[in-house]
Structure 1
Amino acid sequence: MMKRIVYWFRNDLRLHDNEGFTRAVQQADEVLPVFVFDPKLFDELPDLGFRKTGIFRANFLIECVADLRRNLRNRGAHLIVRVGNPATVLAELAQQIGASAIYASKEVTSEETDMESSLSKRLKPQNIDLELFWQSTLYHVRDLPFAIAQLPDVFSQFRNQVERRAKVRSTFEDPVRVRLVPEVDPGDMPSITTFGFPGEMKTDIRRAVPFKGGETVALERLESYLWEKELIKTYKETRNGLVGENYSSKFSAWLAHGCLSPRLIYEEVMRYEAERVKNDSTYWLIFELIWRDFFRFVALRFGDRLFKASGIKHDIQKRWRRDNDLFIRWAEGETGIPFIDANMRELAQTGFMSNRGRQNVGSFLVKDLGIDWTWGAAWFESLLVDYDPCSNWGNWNYTAGVGNDPREDRYFNIYSQATRYDEKGAFVKHWLPELTQVPAQKVHLVSALNRREQEEFGVALGDTYPMPIINPGKWLKR
């Protein structure tokens, strides 16, 4: 009897180094590759009034799936696309074609693992297996030198142990030909209007990088960053940049959707070090991939604590403010603190923000305004093209001081950060054109401008640019 396997693509939207899909192709006579858009992902969050997934990531995800469909077609197959509850859709498809199993990527956070359980329950009475593959991290979970329950609380300890005692597995080859189950209607690709977004997505010409979804563009970016432009060799010095396409790797959006394998990046960096140059910068890119792993393993260990206001630490003493007006001023980049506003407007206009920006706006929301950090994490979830539940909520835990590493609970002096990382005010002026004429030495503290200076520099505080919602003078005293 012919063996058929359904392959459920999730956050692994690639053909390179995809163990689950490669094994399905090797072990089955025919494979049915499927992607299911879950409309729940685009719902409005009941208490907060904005969508769980906003337009930037919705558009990026559709591009990723369309690219995967093209790449499968080039291998003689097709991607079956559906909109609905993944557990229901997949169980029906598996039954319809007489599949013996569904293969998929293993996820770690609750919404995804709940979906795995729901699917498993539906498949049991039909005697169909669900086989899940761990394929999102640099280090495989089974290769860690400790049990997940013994995961070190401190990142440096985690890094030292895995670097000394764990090996990165080799990447899997792409399947060259895929034998497809023939009789299933492939279905139409949805557009952003399917999920209730306006038909046209406006792109802001000021954006740092024109993120386009899909494995094809991801591999081009990897090739360009390492081999063509050789930007990797200065990564450590440039990674805190704020303006432009080249200051950091920008791999994050493709990593988050699984269009790019961390192990492939690792292999390419090793090859680059062997053939071109090995330095602190080449290592630092791997270092950032290990951070990404750490947050995924933290999520695996602590589960839903990651998403609760009390955090990983289960700190129920901390009291958070739930001030809607202040939160909206922060979210819309109307705080009157230029460095915060520029970063928040970049996020709102493009779905991206630098790592340096994320640390500063996070610290400002929770430490200076005292607002519930989970609101900030949810806002990032909605807007970020590179949203990854483990990294996003893990980083916010630390920002709020409810993570499990006490040394990560840092306060950011926004003024000193702004003058250090945006010394000439180029980034602030890029996103706040109303401050274009303000000289560099004054632009990070516009609230201190007197009336004559305001007239001279074309700024009217409280009119063309808001008065600050906190007194920035405290940063000058520190």
Structure 2
Amino acid sequence: MDKKKVVLVWFRNDLRLHDNEILLEAVQKADLVIPVYCFDPRYYNTNKYGGKNTGALRAQFILETVQSFKESLRDLGGDLLTYYGYPEEIIPRLAVKYDADEVYHHREVAQRETQISEKVESALWQSCRINLKHFIGHTMYHKEDLPFPIRDIPESFTLFKKKVERESQVRPVLPAIDQILIPNHLESTEIPSLATLGFSEQEVDSIAGKKLIGGEQNGLKNLEMILEDAYKGFHDFTLISPYMATGVLSPILVYHRLHAAMTPTNKKRLERRTARLFWRDYFRFMLKKYPNVYFKLSGHHGTTTPERANVLDEADWKSGHTGESFIDETIDILKSTGNLPSEARTVLSLYLIQETNCSWLESAAFFEEYLLDYNPATTYGIWSHVAGVGTSKKDNLTGISWKEALAKHYPKGLQYTQNPSKA
């Protein structure tokens, strides 16, 4: 009797049924599929600035997303194995136990993520002589479809966007799977709690009443909502960006839906949202071209921010007690909802750079802890440009004060504080 082909799929930021190449290929090429997700302790540790790599708000969003994906796979006859632990220990153990022939995963570009992949790859080869098969699937444009190799990507965002739009096409959306076969007697696993991930009872209580709920169906629902002509909210892109960050929404699907929904009345608004997708691609490809560039204090263009003599105490600004009403309310909204419109993020970022003695990397780490839509390339890519050291020199915000940015974007003060889920 021929041995059945077994493929283990290691999920990270790709928790969806639609437009998911690793899941579709595994189902098509394997007799049995083993879906796995690891809650890696490294992402829930305290960072060198004293904050969490992942705050309780985003951790809860991730838990909901994983739970939703697990239920979706169960509805199709499968399951999702979920563990709290290091993937370089868990993946090889499962590969040996279930006699896997291959292990699939989506390639990442930031240093921490690529180092984890390398650990898994090395451990797999040492334990069972299995290669880790890499897929590319986190961008709107596929790397192989770009009109230039990675090493020749223009540093100018405008030039990058024009050339890609003119000479490349976004691939069609891949079909969702409708069935998945898993081995008999697959391990029974549970989703860990926030307490298991290291959060205190006080931290858990602090996120009560949050607005955005994780999961593929919620992401698709929000996408449809912001495409409606009647939608007039301020949070349109940030209603879907958390779902793209966790891979619940494919940027390819979002692109095609944006274009299909364009009308004379919403065209400008939806074109601005499409531009966000281009920025998202740009940051990711540039991080591939210049490894770790968005995590260097001096960045790609510029020098470090000079220290200031009279600055706020760190505890004051992190707790939202700066004395500036806009800034204080913005910090409160960020910490309580995990979300901010892009313009408010810019004002707050400029304020932290200009009015505190923290490096921009420390301030960016504050965003990393709280933002629901955190992803390494985009979050730190945006911050490097606000700090004036980003890769697209023309787009660096040099010579702009936070008060000028506030007057430009919010001349009438805070008008984005309505419930984001109803915006």
Normalising by the residue count of structure 2, what TM-score does the alignment of the two structures yield? 0.91
Percent of aligned pairs with the same amino acid: 31
Q: 1:350 Cα deviation (Å)?
A: 1.9
Pick closer, same or farther for the CA change 1:386–1:322 going to 2, 3 Å.
farther
How far apart are the structure 2 equivalents of 1:278 and 1:165?
Answer: 26
Q: 1:299 to 1:254 in 2, by over 3 A?
A: same
3-state SS of paired residue (1:273): coil
CA distance in 2, matches of 1:416, 1:398: 17
Residue 306, structure 1, aligned to residue 294, structure 2 = yes
Q: Tell me what 2:144 maps to.
A: 142
Distance, in Å, in 2 between the alignment partners of 1:175 and 1:288 is: 28
Alignment-derived partner of residue 267 in structure 1: 256
Q: What is the CA deviation profile of residues 148-187 of structure 1, one whole-angstrom value per residue up to 9, with x for unaligned ones? A: 1111111100100100011101111111000112222131
Question: Closer, same or farther in 2 for the Cα pair 1:317/1:220, shift >3 Å?
Answer: closer
Mapped partners of 1:277, 1:29: distance in 2: 49
Distance 1:71 1:368, change over 3 A: same
CA contact (8 A) 1:9 1:33 kept: yes
Q: Map 1:70-149; keep pairs closer than 5 Å.
A: 70-125=71-126, 126-149=128-151
Rate the CA distance shift 1:320–1:135 in 2: closer, same or farther, 3 A. farther
Deviation at 1:191, TM superposition (A): 1.1
Q: Are residues 1:42 and 2:44 paired?
A: yes
Q: Residue 194 of structure 1 aligns to a residue in which SS?
A: coil
Query: Which residue number in structure 2 is paired with residue 224 of structure 1?
Result: 225
TM-aligned CA deviation for residue 251 of structure 1: 0.8
Mapped to 1, the partners of 2:249 and 2:98 lie a distance apart of 30
- Sort the Cα spacing of 1:389 and 1:429 in 2 relative to 1 into closer, same or farther, 3 A: closer
Match of 1:381 among 368, 391, 395: 368
Which residue matches 2:65?
64
Q: Which has the larger radius of gyration?
A: 1
Aligned to 1:6: 8
* Structure 1, unaligned runs of 5 or more: 432-478
Q: Is the 8 A contact 2:237 2:273 kept in 1?
A: no
Structure 1 residue identity aligned to 2:241: S
The Cα shift of 1:428 comes to 9.1
Find the aligned partners of 2:258 and 2:17 in 1 and give their Cα distance. 20
Other-structure match for 2:18: 16
Pick from 364, 367, 386 the counterpart of residue 351 of structure 2: 364
Aligned pairs (5 A) from 1:147-296: 147-199=149-201, 200-203=204-207, 210-227=211-228, 230-231=230-231, 241=234, 248=237, 250-273=239-262, 279-296=267-284
Q: Is the 8 A contact 1:77 1:178 kept in 2?
A: yes
**Displacement of 1:408 after TM fit?**
2.2
* Shift in alpha-carbon separation, 1:285–1:268, aligned structure 2, 3 A: same
Alpha-carbon shift at residue 252 of structure 1 (Å): 0.8
Matched to 1:169, the amino acid is R
* 2:402 corresponds to: 414
CA contact (8 A) 2:141 2:281 kept: yes
Distance 1:323 1:71, change over 3 A: farther
Offset from partner CA, 1:358-407 (integer Å, 9 cap, x none): 11111122234453101011111111111011011101111111112222
CA distance in 1, matches of 2:189, 2:310: 45
| Conservation of the 8 A alpha-carbon contact between 1:333 and 1:345 | yes
Q: Contact 2:136–2:143 at 8 Å: present in 1 too?
A: yes
Give a deviation string over 1:255-313, Cα, whole Å, max 9, x none.
Answer: 10000001111121232238x87722232221111111111111111112321212133
Rounded to whole Å, the distance in 1 between the matches of 2:271 and 2:78 is 38
Higher relative contact order (CA 8 A, sep 6+): 2
AA matched with 1:191: S
Query: What one-letter code is carried by the residue in structure 2 that aligns with 1:263?
Result: I
Name the CA distance, whole Å, in 1 between partners of 2:29 and 2:334: 44
1:332 and 1:348 in contact (8 A); partners too: no
| Cα pair distance change 1:79/1:303, threshold 3 Å | same
Letter in 2 for 1:32: I
Q: Match of 1:289, as an amino acid?
A: L
TM-score (ref. length: structure 1): 0.81
| Deviation at residue 422 of structure 1 after TM alignment | 3.6
Q: 1:93 to 1:426 in 2, by over 3 A?
A: same
Separation in 2, partners of 1:430, 1:24: 43
> Structure 1 residues 38, 56: closer, same or farther in 2, change over 3 A?
same
Q: How far did residue 204 of structure 1 move?
A: 6.8
Q: CA RMSD in A?
A: 2.4
User: Partner of 2:53: helix, strand, or coil?
Assistant: coil
Contact 2:295 2:380 in 1 (8 A): yes
Q: How does 1:430-469 map to 2 (within 5 A)?
A: none
Determine helix, strand or coil for the equivalent of 2:290. helix
* Counterpart Cα distance in 2 of 1:355 and 1:3: 46
Q: Which runs of 5+ in 2 are unaligned?
A: none
Q: Residues 397 and 403 of structure 1 are in contact (CA less than 8 Å); yes or no, is this contact kept in structure 2?
A: yes
